[in-house]
Homo-oligomer: A and B are copies of this chain.
Amino acid sequence: MSNNEKFYKSEVDFLRDYNPDDFEKLSLTTDILIFSVSSDTQRNYRKLPKKHFSVLLVKRGTYPFKNKWCLPGGFVGIKENLEEAARRILLNETNIDNVYLEQLYTFGQVDRDPRMRIVSTSYMALVDQKKLKGNLSENAAWFDITITEKGSNMKVALKSDQEKMEFVVEKKLKDESSFNYSYIVVENERLAFDHPLVISTGIDRLRNKIEYTDVVFNMMPEYFTLGELQLVYETILGERLLAPAFRRVIKDKVEKTDMIKKGGGHRPSVLYKYKSDH
C-alpha cells in the first residue's frame, strides 16, 4: 500500500466526515468595504468641485481596538449565506439596499483577531454617496483616501471631517511569475484588525475592475456629465486622463440625454446616463 493510497483511504474521507479536535469550528465574519466618490463643496465658481475617493469607517466603542476605526462588519449566521450576511450588515449599518456588492477576499491569518480565531470574508460595495447622506450614525464617517506609492510601499492617508490617519502597506509578490501578491502592514496606528489589508486589496481590485467593467456607474448618480465621469476615473486611478481618449473609450457605455448642466463659469455640459445594453 503506497503512502498516497493510505492517505486517500484515511485522511480525505476522514476529514470530510469527522470533526476532530484539531479541526474545531471557528467563527466567520464578513467585513464590508464601502467605496464611494464624494465632492468638495465648490469654492471657486469656475472650477469643478474636486472629487475624493472615499471609504466608510466605523469607530469602535469597545475593546479590542477601542476607539480605533474599522470597516463595518459582523458575524455570519449559521443559517445565512455569505452575501446575505453582508447585505444584512450593510442595510443595518448604512440603511441602504440594492447596492453593488462583490466578494473581495477571505482573510484568515490565525492571529488577525486578538480574541479568538476569526476568519473574515470581505465584500466590496460601491455606492453613490448621496443615497446615504443624512443617515450616517455618529460612529460612522466617510474618509477621503489619498494614495502615495513609492516602490513597493503604498501609503494610504485617510481624512474625515474630524480625523486624519494613515497606514503603509508593502506589496509583496508571492509568485514571480504572476500578479499574485499580498500585502504586509508596515505602519498602522489607528485602524483595527487587519483592515489595512482589506482596504489595500479593495483599492487594487477596484482599480483593475474599473478598466474592464462598468462598475464605476454604481458610484455615479443617474445623470452626470462626461467631465464628472472622467474625474471619478481619475480620482480612483490616481492619474490624469486625456479627454479625447476618455470620450472615445466611454462613448459606447453612455447615452446622451437632452438635459444640460449649466451654472459653472464655463461652457455648459450635456448630461449623460449609463447605457447598459451595448
Q: Chain A interface (Cβ within 8 Å of chain B)?
A: 2-5, 7-9, 11-13, 15-17, 19, 22-29, 58, 60-63, 72-82, 92-93, 95, 100, 102-103, 105-106, 108-110, 115, 117, 119, 121, 135-140, 174-180, 209, 212-215, 217-218, 274, 276
Instruction: Kindly list chain B residues whose C-beta atoms are within 8 Å of the C-beta of A176.
Output: 276
Identify which of A60, A108, A217, A218 gathers the most chain B CB atoms within 10 Å of its CB: A108
Q: Complex Cα distance A80/B19, Å?
A: 15
| CB nearest neighbor in B for A274 | B177
CB pair A8–B177 under 8 Å, yes or no, is no
CB pair A139–B9 under 8 Å, yes or no, is yes
Instruction: Kindly list chain B residues whose C-beta atoms are within 8 Å of the C-beta of A218.
Output: 175, 177-178
Given contacts A81-B110, A92-B7, A274-B177, contact A28 B119 (CB under 8 A): yes
Q: Complex Cα distance A76/B7, Å?
A: 17
Instruction: Kindly list chain B residues whose C-beta atoms are within 8 Å of the C-beta of A179.
Output: 209, 212-213
Instruction: Kindly list chain B residues whose C-beta atoms are within 8 Å of the C-beta of A13.
Output: 60-62
Given contacts A75-B19, A274-B177, contact A81 B61 (CB under 8 A): no
CB pair A16–B60 under 8 Å, yes or no, is yes
Instruction: Give the number of copies in the complex.
Output: 2
CB pairs A–B below 8 angstroms (27 shown): A4-B93, A4-B136, A4-B140, A8-B137, A12-B60, A12-B72, A15-B74, A15-B75, A17-B115, A19-B27, A19-B75, A23-B27, A23-B78, A25-B28, A26-B27, A26-B76, A26-B78, A28-B28, A79-B117, A81-B110, A100-B175, A103-B106, A108-B121, A177-B213, A177-B215, A177-B217, A178-B215
> Which of B108, B214, B215 lies in contact with A82, CB distance below 8 A?
B108
Q: Complex Cα distance A12/B93, Å?
A: 8
CB pair A8–B140 under 8 Å, yes or no, is yes
Q: Complex Cα distance A259/B24, Å?
A: 53
Least CB distance, A65 to chain B, in whole angstroms? 9
Instruction: Kindly list chain B residues whose C-beta atoms are within 8 Å of the C-beta of A26.
Output: 25-28, 76, 78
| CB nearest neighbor in B for A212 | B179
Instruction: Kindly list chain B residues whose C-beta atoms are within 8 Å of the C-beta of A217.
Output: 177
CB pair B100–A81 under 8 Å, yes or no, is no
Q: Complex Cα distance A159/B79, Å?
A: 36
Given contacts A28-B119, A62-B16, contact A8 B138 (CB under 8 A): yes
CB pair B58–A81 under 8 Å, yes or no, is no
Q: Complex Cα distance A215/B72, Å?
A: 34
Q: Complex Cα distance A13/B66, Å?
A: 10
CB pair B213–A178 under 8 Å, yes or no, is yes
Least CB distance, A254 to chain B, in whole angstroms? 12
